[in-house]
C-alpha cells in the first residue's frame, strides 16, 4: 500500500488480527511508543497488528481520538469517558490492557492496570485462577497453610465471578 | 499476560488481596513475596497518593488491654470504616510502648518507656506481621547507669530498613559523650556496632520524637555547657546510608 496524503495530514492503516483495516491520521498513533518508532524508523503506511483483535483495536482508536481532543476545558468529560472506557467485561478489559501494553501507550496503560486491579481485588482465589487461566500447583494442605497464616485475607464477601 | 504487565497490575492491589492471591500458584507466591515486588508495591502506594490511614491506639478499661483500629485519614471519625487489628505485642507489655517511628507503613515500637526492657519490634499492621528484633550486642550491664535512644528509617542507598540505637553511659549524674552507636539492618537481620570516629555529638532527649528526612534520622538533642551553666538545644542527625 502506498503512502497517501490528504491535505497536510499523513494517513496510516492499522491491520487488526482478523485482517480488518483501520485508516487513521498518523498523528494519532504517535501516542503509542511502539508505533511511533515504527513510523519514524521506516516510512511505513500500513502496520499489521495480528495479535490484537479488531474489537480491541476499535476501542483503543476510540481512546486515541478522545485523548487527542483533550484540553483543560473538557477534562471532566474525558474523565467520564475513561470511566466508561474500562466499563466492559473483564475478559475484554484484559485484552485491551495487554494490547495497550504491547503498543506502549503509557498513560492509558496505567489507567487500565488500575482498573484491572480494582476489578480483581475482591475476587476469590478460584476466580483469579479462572480469569488468568492458571492451574493451581499447590496441594490442598499447602493452600490451607496460607489460610491458617492469614485468615483475615480470606474473610469477608469474596467474589467468585470472572467478569 | 506478560510477567511485567502482571507485576504492574498486582502492584496496585491492596495488601489483603495480595496475601490471598499468594495461594493462586507457586509462581504468584514467589512473585508476591519477592523483595523487588514488595519494593515496587511500596513505590506504587506512595505514587498513587491514596488517602492515608491512621492507626488509633486506645486502652480498653473493661478488657484491660490496648486496642487498635485503622481509620482512613481524610474521613471523619466514623466507626464503620474501622478495621480492628491485633496488638503487635500479644500482651507481653504491661505499659504502653514507645512508637520510635514509622516508615512506609511499618512501625518501629519499643518497650523502653518504663524500665530497661529490650523488646523492640518492627510491625506492619497492613499484613499483621510483627518482627521482634534480636538483642543489640552491647552489654549494658557492664556500663552501669545508662540511657539510650532509637531511630528508625529507610536507607535509600541500600534499600534497607535500619534501626539505630545510641547508648549514653552515665557518670556522676551526667551522660557521657560520645554515645555508643549500634545499627540494625533488616535485610541482614543483625546488629552492627559502629566503630571509628563519631563526630561531635550531643545528648538526645529521653522523651524524644524522631523525624526522618532524606534518609537521615533527626532527634532533638542538648549539651550541657558547664561554663555558662546552661543547656544548648539542637537537632541531632544520623545518616542511615553513610552510617
Note whether B184 and B163 are within 8 A (CB). yes
> What domains can you pick out in chain A, each with its CATH number?
11-120 (3.30.710.10), 125-154 (no CATH)
CA distance A22 to chain B (A): 25
How many helices and strands (H and E) does chain B possess? 4, 16
Nearest to A113 among B12, B14, B22 (CB): B12
Task: Please tell me whether residues B16 and B34 are part of one structural domain.
Answer: yes
Is pLDDT at B109 greater than 70 in this prediction? yes
Structure confidence at residue B170 (pLDDT): 74
Give me chain A's average pLDDT, please: 87
Query: pLDDT category, B216, cuts 50, 70, 90?
Result: low
CB contact under 8 A, B21 and A132: no
Buried b (16+ CB within 10 A) or exposed e, A129-142: bebbeeebebeeee
Task: Please tell me whether residues B154 and B232 are part of one structural domain.
Answer: yes
Note whether B22 and B29 are within 8 A (CB). yes
Q: Give the range among A32-36, A77-81, B18-22, B122-126 with minimum mean pLDDT.
A: B122-126
What percent of chain B clears pLDDT 70, i.e. is strictly above it?
51
- The domain of B58 spans 51-132
Note whether A146 and A152 are within 8 A (CB). no
Task: Please tell me whether residues B61 and B78 are part of one structural domain.
Answer: yes
Of B132, B158, B179, the residue at which a domain comes to its end is B132
Q: What is the 3-state secondary structure (H, E, C) of A130-159?
A: HHCCCCCCCCHHHHHHHHHHCHHHHCCCCE
A vs B, Cβ pairs < 8 A, gives 74
Query: pLDDT category, B214, cuts 50, 70, 90?
Result: low
CB contact under 8 A, A117 and B13: yes
Task: Please tell me whether residues B128 and B139 are part of one structural domain.
Answer: no
CB contact under 8 A, B23 and A147: yes
Is pLDDT at A9 greater than 60 in this prediction? yes
Task: Please tell me whether residues B100 and B141 are part of one structural domain.
Answer: no
Measured distance CA(B197)–CA(B212) in Å, rounded: 23
DSSP A33-66: HHHHHHHHHS--SEEE-TTS-HHHHHHHHHHHHH
User: pLDDT digit string (tens) for B27-68?
Assistant: 999 999 888 888 888 878 777 665 556 655 555 555 555 556
- The complex's ipTM? 0.87
CA distance B130 to chain A (A): 13
Enclosing H/E stretch for B58: strand B53-60
Is pLDDT at B229 greater than 50 in this prediction? no
User: pLDDT digit string (tens) for A117-159?
Assistant: 999 999 999 999 999 999 989 999 999 988 888 888 888 788 8
Nearest to B8 among A113, A137, A150 (CB): A113
Structure confidence at residue B47 (pLDDT): 72
Structure confidence at residue B135 (pLDDT): 81
Structure confidence at residue B81 (pLDDT): 39
Number of domains in chain B: 3
3-state helix, strand, coil in chain B (%, to 5): 15, 40, 45
Measured distance CA(A55)–CA(B80) in Å, rounded: 43
Of B132, B147, B180, the residue at which a domain comes to its end is B132
- A3 vs B195: which has the higher pLDDT: B195
Amino acid at each position: 500500500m502506498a503512502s497517501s496524503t490528504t491535505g497536510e495530514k499523513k494517513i496510516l492503516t492499522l491491520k487488526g488480527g482478523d485482517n480488518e483495516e483501520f485508516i487513521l491520521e498518523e498523528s494519532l498513533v504517535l501516542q503509542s511508543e511502539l508505533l511511533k518508532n515504527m513510523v519514524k524508523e521506516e516510512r511505513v503506511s500500513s502496520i499489521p497488528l495480528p495479535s490484537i483483535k479488531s474489537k480491541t483495536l476499535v476501542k483503543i482508536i476510540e481512546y486515541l481520538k478522545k485523548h487527542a481532543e483533550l484540553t483543560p476545558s473538557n477534562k471532566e468529560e474525558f474523565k467520564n469517558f475513561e470511566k466508561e472506557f474500562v466499563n466492559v467485561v473483564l475478559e475484554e478489559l484484559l485484552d485491551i490492557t495487554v494490547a495497550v501494553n504491547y503498543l506502549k501507550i503509557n498513560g492509558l496503560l496505567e489507567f487500565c492496570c488500575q482498573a484491572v486491579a480494582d476489578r480483581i481485588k475482591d475476587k476469590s482465589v478460584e476466580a483469579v485462577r479462572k480469569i488468568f487461566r492458571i492451574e493451581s500447583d499447590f496441594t490442598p494442605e499447602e493452600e490451607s497453610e496460607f489460610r491458617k497464616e492469614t485468615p483475615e485475607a480470606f474473610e469477608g464477601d469474596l467474589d467468585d465471578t470472572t467478569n | 499476560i506478560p510477567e511485567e504487565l502482571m507485576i504492574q497490575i498486582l502492584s496496585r492491589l491492596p495488601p489483603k488481596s495480595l496475601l490471598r492471591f499468594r495461594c493462586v500458584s507457586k509462581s504468584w507466591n514467589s512473585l508476591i513475596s519477592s523483595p523487588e515486588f514488595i519494593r515496587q508495591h511500596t513505590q506504587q502506594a506512595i505514587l498513587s497518593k491514596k488517602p492515608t490511614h491512621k492507626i488509633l491506639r486506645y486502652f480498653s478499661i473493661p478488657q484491660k488491654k490496648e486496642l487498635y483500629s485503622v481509620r482512613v485519614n481524610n474521613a471523619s471519625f466514623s466507626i464503620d470504616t474501622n478495621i480492628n487489628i491485633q496488638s503487635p505485642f500479644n500482651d507481653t507489655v504491661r505499659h504502653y510502648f514507645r512508637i520510635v517511628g514509622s516508615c512506609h507503613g511499618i512501625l518501629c515500637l519499643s518497650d523502653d518507656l518504663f524500665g530497661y526492657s529490650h523488646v523492640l519490634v518492627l510491625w506492619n499492621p497492613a499484613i499483621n506481621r510483627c518482627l521482634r528484633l534480636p538483642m543489640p550486642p552491647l552489654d549494658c550491664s557492664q556500663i552501669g547507669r545508662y540511657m539510650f535512644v532509637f531511630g528508625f528509617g529507610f536507607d535509600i542507598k541500600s534499600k534497607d530498613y535500619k534501626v539505630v540505637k545510641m547508648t549514653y553511659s552515665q557518670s556522676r549524674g551526667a551522660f557521657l559523650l560520645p554515645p555508643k552507636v549500634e545499627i540494625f539492618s533488616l535485610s541482614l537481620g543483625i546488629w552492627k556496632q559502629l566503630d571509628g570516629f563519631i563526630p561531635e555529638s550531643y545528648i538526645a532527649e529521653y522523651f524524644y520524637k524522631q523525624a526522618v528526612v532524606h534518609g537521615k534520622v533527626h532527634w532533638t538533642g542538648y549539651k550541657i555547657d558547664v561554663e555558662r551553666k546552661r543547656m544548648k538545644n539542637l537537632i541531632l542527625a544520623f545518616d542511615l546510608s553513610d552510617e
